[in-house]
Amino acid sequence: MSETQHFRKHGKSWEEIVAHCRVLVLDLDFPAVRAWKQQTGGKAVGCFPVYTPQELIAAAGGLPVTLYGGRGLLEIDHADSRIQSFVCSIARSTLELGLANHLDWMDGFVVPSICDVARNLSGVWQRNFPGQFVFYLHLPQNVDSASSLVYYRGELERFRARLAELTGRAVSDQALQSAIRTYNRNRELLAELYRRRTVQPEQWPASHIYALAGVGNVLPREEHNQLLEAALALGESRPRPKRDWVRVALRGMFCEQPPLELLEVLEEAGCAVVDDDAQIGARFFLEPVADNGDPLTALAEAYLHQTVLTPVNNPGQRSRSEDLLGRCREKWIQGVVFASAKFCEPALYDAVRLKRAVEHAGLPTLEFEYEEKMTVFESVRMQAETFVESVLFFS
């Protein structure tokens, strides 16, 4: 029985669904993935953040699983002897997950070319897991070049061929179009979930939304879609008291994820998170991907022209500062919290420019770094409470 059928059959409440999703998100033994493999006999493919064209894996009959490292729940016992200790936590703890056999279900690993650390991890992985399917996906860097479409479509074709070798199943255009439709529906449901949070943050707490969205990283998209439909229906019917709080945007969480407690502490301190870049890969496209015509061209076009902006992709050289300020205006945001993963150069470099632009526009900011293994949140709580008070009483 699927997770969603289970919820429906047993008449679960919103809190129970969220709690269950949270357990699945944080379980480093990936029980949902193991159950899927047992039921289907299919291949499960781990995907490093930020964005992988998972439609191709699904169309090949596989299960794409986004890996977000050790979630702060893993001791690094083996990885530090195989990868630099001064890189971000997610690279080290993802390797540790593999070395400590938490990923023994994994039939393949895809690493997109988001940064030097990811590139290095892909090579280190190949050395440490010889014989495993590892695919380093070369994303186009200069998206304004006329050659980018041809180049990236070719890269997707290469990925399609390698996946067919892994799964033993050729990926037809029809299967890929069908997967694109399923993923479009998933992005539509996620967009609706986040839209409702923007309108009524007290009704749709960011930490709950995080768990509901995050469970999609370990479930087939069809099942995640059913779960989101159930959650959207249920979430409206449980009014929560309004609060005096400050509407904020969160930036810096596009790849390595903070401990979930960090989101909860920010909310408890009075920050209503109405815009964020956490787990952004599942929400990467701003428009539905075309589900007719050549599906590889459609995926390539979408990557080149209609993605959200993050420090590791820059479609059309749009200004990330302008984009953030536009979102602040549109969503009545009163301040921006820059929470960046320690040692994440893309996030930390970006924060400098964005913070300057936000402050120049007259909006207050709060900035700190986090690590996966962070367990003490009192300092962040105090900073957030002071930030909220200063916005509420002095703006």
- Judged by CB under 6 A, does residue 111 bind ligand SF4? no
Contact call for residues 45 and 108 (beta carbons, < 8 A): yes
- Least Cβ distance, residue 345 to ligand SF4 (angstroms): 6
Q: Tokens 């059928």 appear where? A: 5
Q: Which residues inside 313-352 make contact with ligand SF4, applying CB under 6 A?
A: 341, 344-347
- Of 56, 91, 227, 289, the residue at the interface with ligand SF4 (CB under 6 A) is 91
Q: Name the pairing type of β-strands 63-66 and 44-47.
A: parallel
Task: Compute the least distance from the CB of residue 252 to ligand SF4, in Å.
Answer: 9
- For ligand SF4 (CB under 6 A), the number of binding residues is 15
The distance of closest approach from Cβ of residue 98 to ligand SF4 in the complex, given in angstroms and rounded to an integer, is: 15
- Write down the least CB distance from residue 341 to ligand SF4, Å: 5
Secondary structure (DSSP) of 260-310: HHHHHHHHHTTEEEEEE-TTGGGG-BSSPPP-SS-HHHHHHHHHHHSBPPB
Least distance to ligand SF4, CB of residue 346, Å? 5
Of 76, 75, 57, 73, which is closest to residue 65 (Cα–Cα)? 57
Which residue among 18, 59, 88, 246 contacts ligand SF4 (CB under 6 A)?
88
Q: How far is the CB of 295 from ligand SF4 (least distance, A)?
A: 28
What's the closest the beta carbon of residue 96 comes to ligand SF4, in angstroms? 14
Does the protein bind ligand SF4 through residue 76 (CB under 6 A)? Answer: no
Pick from 118, 171, 333, 363 the residue near ligand SF4 by CB under 6 A.
118
- How far is residue 90's CA from residue 72's CA, in Å, rounded to a whole number? 9
Interface with ligand SF4 (CB under 6 A), residue from 59, 90, 272, 304: 90
CB of 121 to ligand SF4, least distance (A): 7
What DSSP element (H or E) covers 335?
strand 335-341
Residue 129 C-alpha from the chain's centroid: 25
* Number of other CB atoms surrounding residue 287 within 10 Å: 11
Q: In angstroms, how far is CA 81 from the centroid of its own chain? A: 28
Residue 217: CB minimum distance to ligand SF4, A:
15
Residue 266 near residue 337 (C-beta atoms within 8 A)? yes
- Residues 233-262, interacting with ligand SF4 (CB under 6 A): 255-256
Beta carbons of 61 and 166 less than 8 angstroms apart: no
**Contact partners, residue 332, CB within 8 Å, separation at least 6:** 247, 274
Residues 6 or more apart whose CB falls under 8 angstroms from that of 261 comprise 377
Beta carbon nearer to ligand SF4, 280 or 347: 347
What type of residue is 237? S
DSSP-derived letter for residue 257 is P
Stretch that binds ligand SF4, among 86-94, 195-203, 220-228, 359-367 (CB under 6 A): 86-94
Instruction: Give the binding range for ligand SF4 (CB under 6 A) out of 5-13, 26-34, 88-96, 386-394.
Output: 88-96
Report the distance separating Cα 2 and Cα 108, nearest Å: 24
Rounded to whole angstroms, the Cα distance separating 55 from 68 reads: 19
Of 118 and 227, the one with the shorter C-beta distance to ligand SF4 is 118
Q: Which is nearer to ligand SF4, 3 or 350 (CB)?
A: 350
Task: Rule CB under 6 A: choose which of 115, 206, 209, 391 binds ligand SF4.
Answer: 115
Instruction: Choose the binding region for ligand SF4 from 72-80, 103-111, 112-120, 231-239 (rule: CB under 6 A).
Output: 112-120
Which residues, including other chains, have CB under 8 Å from residue 200's CB and lie 6 or more apart?
A: none
Interaction site with ligand SF4 (CB under 6 A): 88, 90-91, 114-115, 117-118, 255-256, 312, 341, 344-347
